[in-house]
Amino acid sequence: LSPEHITEIYDSFHIEDDRTGLSSETLQRAIADNLYYIQGKFPEIATLYDYYMAVAYTVRDRLLHRWINTVKTYREQDVKVVCYLSAEYLPGPHLENNLVNLGIYDQVQQAVESSGLDLRSILAQEEEPGLGNGGLGRLAACYMDSLATLEIPAIGYGIRYEYGIFDQEIREGWQVEITDKWLRLGNPWEIPRPENAVEVKFGGYTEPYTDDQGDYRVRWIPHQVVNGIPYDTPISGYRVNTTSTMRLWKAEAPESFDFQAFNVGDYYGAVDAKIISENLTKVLYPNDEPIQGKQLRLEQQYFFVSCSLQNLLKIHLLRGDPIETFHEKFVIQLNDTHPAIGVAELMRLLVDEYLLHWQKAWDITQQAFAYTNHTLLPEALETWPLNLFGSLLPRHLEIIYEINQRFLDQVRLKYLGNPDKLARLSLIEEGGSKRIRMAHLACVGSHAINGVAALHTELLKEGVLKDFYDLWPHKFTNITNGVTPRRWMVLINPRLTQLITREIGETWITQLEDFKRLESLAEDPAFRQEWRRVKRAVKQDLADYIQAHQGLTLNPDSIFDIQAKRIHEYKRQHLNVLHIITLYNRIKHNPRLAVPPRTFIFGGKAAPGYQMAKLIIKLITSVGEVVNHDPDICDLIKVVFLPDFNVTNSQRIYPAADLSEQISTAGKEASGTGNMKFSMNGALTIGTLDGANIEIREAVEADNFFLFGHTSEDIVDLKAQGYVPKTFYNTNPALKEAIDLIASGYFSHGNRALFQPLVDQLLQADPYCLLADYQSYIDCQDQVGQAFQDQDTWTKTAILNVARIGRFSSDRAIREYCREIWWVNPVSIHLEEYQQAKA
């Protein structure tokens, strides 16, 4: 029989292959099959989790077919591949996203219902991979989604942490951290590939030798070797066959190394070595800024970078390409400086292992790498103590010295007799104890450097990276962040998706600029009414969830005023609290005051060692405790802290917001991406001129954005003039009253000591200028309250926000990376018939 004949017979009988077929009947059969043969269960004893696994495997089969064809196509064709190196990924739950992308949500729902089950409760079984801290990790996940959807060949490399970001519980108002055992019940989305293990060396020493050609070479004799095992997760694109790979590395002890060569007869010693090796990828550091001097963190960084680069070189050579063309086939994006050691590692691999000359290797390296910076805070720039670095990576230290020497020779020619310039640019920070500056290594080793919002890039060029900008202005570009409308609209807000699609079709899902077509509908009263009905229903969903989980009753007609993000002083959750207390005081003074009811919702984790952030959580919950139960307030104000802000929980939050709080001190938030998710779902923003807020405001137009506060320039001036927060406190009675109420113990059962550190910080130093922005914030919030009274105009503004948010799709961001930094093109994937592929 010819393949055509087989297809004909299949078609005539409507038989679908059980691993690729998409009809609900086939899916139902496949789910039952997987329940039996993978979970080893039959319906009478299967748990909901077993069903989740069966459905997940059923969907994975459909993905595998596309994935294999993707990998095959890239292998066979001469394509250039984007390699995204990121120590963090926050992809969120996979199942529902894959249903959306494959276009089989309805079929799977039907299949599941025919078996007497409910898809929502099956979806709720999934443990999300919390392999990141916040914005940076989530951005990597949005970019993987857009890369696949745009059919750009890509691999995302990272670390398979056994424990992700901690789960947050709130006990007596305080954050409590619980270990995140996300792999406990198995992970149906990953495929381990032990056959592709690589070795990573640590410690030891180097020695020179002369090779067969008589050339001077260096050999690295390590103290320890660790194996890296890749675990691959397929990342689907929206309604395309392209399915990319997220390849995460797990550390294991290489048996040969510990058991034979070094620990003959020492069984316990060998097992110890195994434990030490496997500690490497045990846990994610739960900090959203670098922890200074933790050796294990540097080990994690080097481990995953070395695994990834070795893997890339192997793929390149397997394709039959010469090592010299590596940079023509791969471009490597550094997601912040966490993988910046890659610059030295690629040099080591090319020079020491593949025996290239330094200059050739350096050309390849510089052309392969590009660097994204995500922070302006100078204290958040990563540096490593030279001693620690040298003892862990002795060869890389030599290579960095060599890079630095050649770099500074070049600088010296340009800036004759300017030793300060040299000292500022050097890869080594002198003075006291020496340190390696990872951002400098990333800048020198890359052909492109980008910030993540227009203001951020400008401030990089004037501030922390100014000397590099003066040297190489052509390397700098801005790529404003974006978020994927698949997860952040289609998946989390089906009601609004349906309403919008009914009016303007569905092209916006991959062309978000098409939201423009909503503009004229903002003028249509009937449409506005439907919009309001949707928002009301979505707010009710969140209210129901909070009722069920926290026993708090919320009024869905109140303003849902939401701040959800990591807790940080610069993000100023406590400024939000000062507003709440101000409103509270006003109502206490005047119980008949007509204020629109507001529900303040907070979510976010604090780094476990960040005491002030933890105290801010305690302040929020304490104020809530008092305000929520004060009869004088008559339910006009409610304060909710939603525990455990992660991707899953965030998905209930963004759609329900009326007001999005983006109130960081100007010049501190590199971009923000939550601001985009809220706006996309029809919230209005109250915000400062910081990060991407500026561009969002430009896009939606000033009238549709609540702006307050000092600009980044004002803040610099304010500090230069010697900022005295007490002046604001002494001259603003409402501000004084709010702060005094905290200090008095009113929210802490009379305990004046509890919030003293926070009050002192505000009155004595206030590094994030809350007091300077307080009045402007309060005035702006009063305008918000006014505006909300006119529901029709509010809705019109919300629709205009959505209509004009198209630019903030991660598809736009990825197109810019492709055009300006990566020089890569899409490659479409055609599915071979499964039967044919098998044959």
DSSP string over 351-392:
IIIS---HHHHHHHHHHHEEEE-----GGGS-EEEHHHHHHH
Is there a catalytic annotation at residue 374?
yes
Q: How far is residue 296 CA from its own chain's centroid? A: 22
**Angstrom distance (rounded) from CA 177 to CA 765:** 29
Is there a catalytic annotation at residue 673?
yes
The helices-and-strands tally (H runs, E runs) of the chain is 35, 23
Q: Which of 374, 572, 574, 710 is catalytic?
A: 374
Beta carbon of residue 382, minimum distance to ligand HBZ (angstroms, whole number) = 7
Nearer to ligand HBZ, 297 or 614 (CB): 297
Nearer to ligand HBZ, 374 or 475 (CB): 374
Beta carbon of residue 224, minimum distance to ligand HBZ (angstroms, whole number) = 24
Q: Which of 475, 571, 579, 605 is catalytic?
A: 571
Q: Which residues contact 435 (CB under 8 A, 6 or more apart)?
A: 383, 384, 385, 386, 428, 429
Q: Which of 539, 566, 579, 796 is catalytic?
A: 566
Nearer to ligand HBZ, 65 or 338 (CB): 338
Nearer to ligand HBZ, 287 or 732 (CB): 287
Cβ proximity of 693 and 157 under 8 Å: no
Is there a catalytic annotation at residue 677?
yes
Q: Which residue has the tokens 């103290």?
A: 223
**Angstrom distance (rounded) from CA 341 to CA 360:** 19
Nearer to ligand HBZ, 599 or 673 (CB): 673
DSSP string over 103-149:
T-HHHHHHHHHHTT--HHHHHTTPPP--BS-SHHHHHHHHHHHHHHH
Nearer to ligand HBZ, 270 or 332 (CB): 332
Nearer to ligand HBZ, 667 or 806 (CB): 667
Residue type, 80: K
**Angstrom distance (rounded) from CA 681 to CA 697:** 16
**Angstrom distance (rounded) from CA 584 to CA 587:** 5
Is there a catalytic annotation at residue 149?
no
What is the number of other CB atoms lying within 10 angstroms of the CB of residue 792?
11
Is there a catalytic annotation at residue 571?
yes
Beta carbon of residue 640, minimum distance to ligand HBZ (angstroms, whole number) = 24
Nearer to ligand HBZ, 481 or 809 (CB): 481
Beta carbon of residue 799, minimum distance to ligand HBZ (angstroms, whole number) = 25
Cβ proximity of 152 and 235 under 8 Å: no
Q: Which residue has the tokens 């192997």?
A: 314
Q: Which of 677, 710, 804, 807 is catalytic?
A: 677
What is the number of other CB atoms lying within 10 angstroms of the CB of residue 440?
26
Beta carbon of residue 683, minimum distance to ligand HBZ (angstroms, whole number) = 17
Cβ proximity of 168 and 644 under 8 Å: yes
Beta carbon of residue 453, minimum distance to ligand HBZ (angstroms, whole number) = 7
Burial class (CB in 10 A: 0-12, 13-18, 19+), 381: buried
**Angstrom distance (rounded) from CA 679 to CA 488:** 10
Q: Which of 149, 242, 673, 795 is catalytic?
A: 673
Give the residue at shortest CB distance from ligand HBZ: 135
Is there a catalytic annotation at residue 314?
no
What is the number of other CB atoms lying within 10 angstroms of the CB of residue 323?
17
Residue type, 274: K
Q: For the chain, give the number of residues.
A: 839
Tokens of 61: 């089969």
Q: Which of 440, 475, 565, 568 is catalytic?
A: 565
Beta carbon of residue 277, minimum distance to ligand HBZ (angstroms, whole number) = 23
Binding-site ranges for ligand HBZ (CB under 6 A):
133-136, 139, 287-290, 374, 452, 481, 669-673, 691
Nearer to ligand HBZ, 58 or 86 (CB): 86
Beta carbon of residue 292, minimum distance to ligand HBZ (angstroms, whole number) = 10
Cβ proximity of 453 and 816 under 8 Å: no
**Residues marked as catalytic:** 374, 565-566, 571, 673, 677
